[in-house]
Amino acid sequence: MNIIWLGHGSFRIEIAGQVLLVDPWFTGNPVFPEERKADAIAGATHILLTHCHFDHVADVLDLAKDLGVPVVGQYDLMGHWAENEGIETVGFNKGGTVALGDVAVTMVNAVHSSSFGTPDGPKWGGTECGFMIAGEGRTIYFSGDTDVMADMGVFADLHAPDIGILAAGGHFTMDMNRAGYAAKRFFDFKTVIPCHYRTFPILEQSAEALAAALPGVDVIEPEVMQAIAL
C-alpha cells in the first residue's frame, strides 16, 4: 500500500490493485507542483469525494471526464452529476459500503459543511463525510474535514482502523491537539498521517503537538508526492 499526499486534504492511495484519488485538488493548490499532476493521476481507478468545498471538489468533474473514472460519494450529489454532467458515479450514503475491486469503502459521518459557490450564492452540495477504506488486510480511517465527535467511538468498534488520515490544521477542522485527543480517546492507530495543514498561514504548520499526544504511534508528517509505504 502506498499513501501519497497531494497537499492539503488530497491523497492518492494505491491499495489492493486500485488507485484512489481522494478529494484531489490541483487547480490553485499552493503546495502542489503543477508539473507533477500527470504523475499524481496516472492509473487512477476512482475518485472519492468527502464534500463540496472548493479545496476538495474544484478538479473532480474535469478529472472524471478526462480520466473516464467514476466519482464515489454522497448519493444525492452523485445522482445529480450522473444525470447532468455525463460522468460515471457510485452514489451511496453514510453507513453504506461499496466494493471498488478488492477495496471496501464505507461512508461514515463527519461534522463540517458542504457547499459550493455560485453567482447566486452558496449552494448545498450534499452532506460531508469521511471514509473507512479497507484492503490488503488494513483499514484506513480518512476523516475528511471534521471536528472530534463521539461517533468516532462507533467507527473504532465497527472498523478497528489501524491507519488514520486526519484533518488537523485547525480553523476549519480539528487542530493538532483535538486530532490527538480523538486518536487517543477513540482509536488504536498504528500510523497517523495529518493533513489539511501547512497549505495557508491560517492553518497549523507542524504536527509536533499531534505526535506528542500519541506516544507509541507512528505519526508521519507527509511530503507532497512522496509515497508512504505501509
Q: All 3 cell numbers of residue 223?
A: 511530503
Amino acid, single-letter form, for residue 192: V
Q: Which residue has the cell 491537539?
A: 177
Using a 10 angstrom Cβ sphere, with 0-12 exposed, 13-18 middle and 19 or more buried, the burial of residue 94 is middle
- pLDDT, tens digit, for every residue of 186-212? 999 999 999 999 999 999 999 999 999
> What distance in Å separates the CA atoms of residue 203 and residue 213, rounded to the nearest whole number?
19
Write the single-letter amino acid at 171.
Answer: H
pLDDT of residue 36: 97
Q: What is the pTM of this model?
A: 0.96
Q: Residue 110 maps to which CATH number?
A: 3.60.15.10
- pLDDT per residue rounded down to tens, the chain (230 residues): 999 999 999 999 999 999 999 999 999 999 999 999 999 999 999 999 999 888 889 899 999 999 999 999 999 999 999 999 999 999 999 999 999 999 999 999 999 888 877 788 877 778 999 999 999 999 999 999 999 999 999 999 999 999 999 999 999 999 999 999 999 999 999 999 999 999 999 999 999 999 999 999 999 999 999 999 99
Distances (CA, A) of 107 to 52, 66, 93, 159: 15, 25, 6, 12
Q: Is 180 helix (H, G, I), strand (E, B) or coil?
A: helix
Q: CB atoms < 10 A from the CB of 119, how many?
A: 4
Number of domains in the chain: 1
Domain of 61 in residue numbering reads as 2-229
